[in-house]
Chains A and B, each alone.
Chain A
Amino acid sequence: MAAGVAAWLPFARAAAIGWMPVASAPMPPPPREMRRGQDGLIMLNVSGTRFQTWRNTLERYPDTLLGSTERDFFFHEETNEYFFDRDPDIFRHILNFYRTGKLHYPRHECISAYDEELAFFGIIPEIIGDCCYEEYKDRRRENTERIQDDEENENNNDLVLPELSFRESMWRAFENPHTSTMALVFYYVTGFFIAVSVMANVVETVPCSSGPNRAKEVSCGERYALAFFCLDTACVMIFTVEYLLRLIAAPSRYKFVKSVMSIIDVVAIMPYYIGLVMTDNEDVSGAFVTLRVFRVFRIFKFSRHSAGLRILGYTLKSCASELGFLLFSLTMAIIIFATVMFYAEKGSSATKFTSIPAAFWYTIVTMTTLGYGDMVPKTIMGKIFGSVCSLSGVLVIALPVPVIVSNFSRIYHQSQRAEKRRAQKKTRLARIRATKSGGANAYLQYKRNGMLADAEEEASKEAGQSLVCKINPTFETQHHHLLHCLEKTTNHEFVDEQTYETNCMEVSLTKPSMSRSSSMSSSPHGLSSCCTRRNKRKSFNVSNSNMVGGRRGSIQELSTIQIRERPMSNSRSSLNAKFEETVPLNSEDQSYITAAVISMPTPPVTTPEGGDSASSHDFLQSNIVRVSAL
């Protein structure tokens, strides 16, 4: 029941007096009059903007923050009002909800900010009114898609399962050619051969100049039959090998076989094999020739290589209903006009409009404004209807086209946006990391200076000045103290990035570095068993494999502080060592609220730490540990 109607309840109850004389049974006693609190005004102060409303208005919805006793937590005695440190612009809409019973969504607001406010005030978004609900749902969907996109991309690019089986790694290579050089090479080679194959198909029909003693021209295909045959064989072999490899590597073979791309692959190579089987059989040679037409399907294999083509295909699929409508309306119009033209031209002699199906050709050519001129009306009526036909043709075709175009545009822009976001993300992360490292460096400075009270200010000044504008000294001191406590607790230490990198480099020298990709891990035992937060295997990253410094940065979550320790012994056999683990935040949905320390027990692989000035203490044990602090 809408809240506004609640005001009419007294009226409805009063009108019930109309039932009294005809009542067949005595009435129940009325409910006890509850001692109603005085109907006063409530003052709500939201970040300085004052709102006032009746107490009753707020109490219409007792299961929200404002309508229940929960608001007492926000009561501010000195000013005798309820103070909320939230966004006043969005609060306006929330208060309107209490007043009118309808929740509206302002279009210019960010959807996540709005959702947060709703969640804070205890209002479920499902009650948004019909006028704004569609917009809200659309924006929400866009937002979740974007988040999903980001997650997928990160998962694809950064994280890897250290224990990928050969099959799985092969599948990854096929799906994302950028993950390894082998895959890239394979990608380009197949692309090249597709192009070669298509070109060969085209060129072999071109008439080559024949010898002087021949009567008719032959096509190049017939002249150099052997060469073309060899070329075709080579291409088909490559395609077959590729298809078989994909089939083997696919995680779900059945799904793979059903997919469109695999069907295209099969159709592209089948004609060759069928041709091999059926050569020189005269009855079916006609069919054999037809089968060669299917070779042109090889060009569709390019869609694996081109995103634009895939988008086009996807658009056509999503506009299936518009296309269907276009087809249907065209057919209707064709039939109508063909009939009319046939009967109009029936009278004229030697007319080309011999039957209605014959008139179809004329109608199609006219409606699409082609106008070949092979069939032309001669009677006056025919000419009149013919002109009407061409005019209406433009309309009928033009109507559904914008829908298809707008769909294509939307999907294309979405993919563009995803690309742009990915590109921007790298720079954004780099910038933010620089800021954060300023904070981390402050702590290291502070330690270096012996943890004296005076040193704090220096440290904060030094580290912070370039990147962070103003640092609250008390905050910094307390923060540093906290980090120090953490160090003491875990018996590990914080170090800075360079020393860490050097250590990593040294370790990497002991085993062949895989590649610039993090997907193929060389150490299958990269996981440590001691991490308590392991949920999904792919959340762990063996940093062994990320030797290139820049690569590491992309995985790093924004608020990650690296803790590194000095390695212990000098053993270089790192392959078996459970070296390190990282728990990047972004791979999981959980939020790691406190610092999660993952420590490596045994046996640590170490490298001599060269000149690490960060720690003046003598650490026995150090492993590289990544700690995320939110």
Chain B
Amino acid sequence: MSSCRKRCKRQILKFAQYFFRFITGTLNADSVEDELELSAVRHRPEALELLEAQTRFSRKELQILYRGFKNECPSGVVNEDTFKEIYAQFFPQGDASTYAHFLFNAFDTDHNGSVSFEDFVMGLSILLRGTVQEKLNWAFNLYDINKDGYITKEEMLDIIKSIYDMMGKCTYPILKEETPRQHVEIFFQKMDKNRDGVVTIDEFIDCCQNDENIMRSMQLFENVI
């Protein structure tokens, strides 16, 4: 009852405030909170030398990377929506937002909701200049959505579905409902050695290292920068 009364009181107070502003004509005035928000979040990356030491990129490569990054995100950080937008531009036929969401989580290592230049460059360093072990590690991290160390079938299904979403619906042959599920089955057949329904990091790395195709494809993007 008291909560009801409290709510009533709050409502009456709000209405009185509204009525007062209605009378004095300040209904649409900017409130203080709005003004604070206008000063956007800005982030400056660490020094070039530090980044050079931490990643495997040369100075020039870091310069090029940062210029591209800053051009698209002048505030210095990428939030998830911008990330999705940018990634979606590369896949116009389909819907890349789910996969971009997973990617974002993989890049956002400190889980603060935004990807700074350091996160970005660290991730790229692993992907482009890392050892096969590191790359596989990164991939496992990507698939493990809740970061608990195990890939379950549901997580895998989500990932595979998001990859198929990027294709869009105009594919040949036509995408069927059960294709992602079948794909997950094949994956688990291959990876899950002890048939316990989950894939651990060791199973994953072991299995990948024994697969020729996967090994070869890991080397594919060495020269991207």
Contacts and interface: CB of A to CB of B under 8 A. Distances in A.
A445 B204 CA distance: 98
A550 interface: no
A372 interface: no
A27 B214 CA distance: 9
Given A2-B89, A15-B103, A17-B139, A26 B72 contact: no
A26 B216 contact: yes
A22 B89 contact: no
Interface residues of A, number: 29
Contacts of A13: 221, 224
Interface in B152-196: 156, 159-160, 163, 183, 186-187
A277 interface: no
Interface string A1-45: 110110111111111111111111011011001000001000000
B68 A21 contact: no
A27 B102 CA distance: 22
A17 B72 contact: no
B221 A16 contact: yes
A390 B190 CA distance: 82
Contacts of A15: 87, 103, 127
Contact of B213 (A9, A12, A19, A23): A23
A39 B64 contact: yes
Nearest to A16: B221
A596 to B, nearest CB: 52
Given A13-B224, A27-B217, A21 B208 contact: yes
A618 B123 CA distance: 92
B84 interface: no
A21 B87 contact: no
Contact of B71 (A7, A10, A19): A7
A21 B214 contact: yes
A26 B156 CA distance: 20
A19 B208 contact: no
A5 B221 contact: no
B220 A8 contact: no
Main secondary structure of the interface of B (DSSP, over half): helix
B182 to A, nearest CB: 10
Given A20-B217, A21-B208, A30-B223, A5 B135 contact: no
Contacts of A2: 89
Contact of A22 (B86, B187, B218, B223): B187
Contacts of A18: 102-103, 106, 138-139, 142-143
A185 B214 CA distance: 95
Given A7-B72, A26-B217, A17 B127 contact: yes
Given A10-B225, A30-B223, A21 B136 contact: yes
A30 B221 contact: yes
Given A11-B120, A21-B139, A22-B159, A30 B220 contact: yes
Given A15-B127, A17-B138, A24 B72 contact: no
Contacts of B68: 4, 7-8
Contact of A4 (B72, B87, B102, B218): B72
A13 B124 CA distance: 10
Nearest to A18: B142
B128 interface: yes
A481 to B, nearest CB: 57
B67 interface: yes
Interface in B193-223: 204, 208, 213-214, 216-218, 220-221, 223
A553 B115 CA distance: 72
B217 A5 contact: no
Contacts of A24: 183, 186
A8 B86 contact: yes
B69 interface: yes
Contacts of A19: 163
B135 A7 contact: no
A27 B213 CA distance: 8
A143 B56 CA distance: 57
A5 B213 contact: no
Interface string A242-272: 0000000000000000000000000000000
A469 to B, nearest CB: 50
Contacts of A1: 89-90
B145 to A, nearest CB: 12
A12 B183 contact: no
A23 B186 CA distance: 10
Contact of A33 (B102, B103, B163, B223): B223
A502 B187 CA distance: 101
Interface string B58-82: 0000001101110110000000000
B67 A7 contact: yes
Contacts of B216: 26-27
Nearest to A29: B220
26 contacts: A1-B90, A4-B71, A7-B69, A7-B71, A8-B72, A8-B86, A10-B225, A11-B120, A13-B221, A13-B224, A14-B221, A15-B103, A16-B221, A17-B138, A17-B221, A18-B106, A20-B217, A20-B218, A21-B136, A21-B208, A22-B156, A22-B187, A26-B216, A27-B216, A27-B220, A30-B220
Interface of A: 1-2, 4-5, 7-24, 26-27, 29-30, 33, 39, 100
Shortest beta-carbon contacts, A-B, top 7: A7-B68, A14-B127, A27-B217, A20-B217, A10-B224, A18-B142, A12-B90
